[in-house]
Amino acid sequence: MDSRDHELKPELTKELHATLQARHELGADYEPALVESFLEKIEQRLDGTVERRVRRELAERQMAAARGTRTAAPVEGFGERFGFGVISLILAIPLSAIAAVNADLEGLVVCWLGIVGVNVVHASRAWPRMPGKRRRSSSDWED
């Protein structure tokens, strides 16, 4: 975890308290705008965190390539799967609204089937092979 990640938590807590205070003072009429503003701030911080991690990974790979060593294949962890799920749910909100407005219930169902499908495909990359199953090699066909 980056040291900057520890700094974000108090900032986000302050932002959340400010948003809740503004909602209390302004009333429920401004709630959608306040929530959207808060979500934009979270998205900006998430983008910054992802960008820092990508730059760090790229720098590590470039250093390894310069040394002539190979890096191990990146292992997808819980954090990447969780982040992908969170981002897909955040994007699901406007996609659902667009689908519902333009194609009613059918469009909404197709939209969510697509969202679920993308998440299943992404998650399936991390599933281990089923025990007892093995890939056929070319020697299997020669027998």
Distance CA 127, CA 132 (A): 15
pTM for the model stands at 0.40
Distance CA 41, CA 70 (A): 38
Task: Give ∠ CA 95-47-114 in degrees, rounded to 5.
Answer: 25
Distance CA 82, CA 66 (A): 32
Distance CA 12, CA 55 (A): 23
Instruction: Summarize pLDDT for 58-74 with one digit per residue, the tens.
Output: 898 888 888 876 655 55
Query: What number of residues does the chain have?
Result: 143
Instruction: Summarize pLDDT for 95-132 with one digit per residue, the tens.
Output: 888 988 898 899 889 999 998 988 888 878 766 654 44
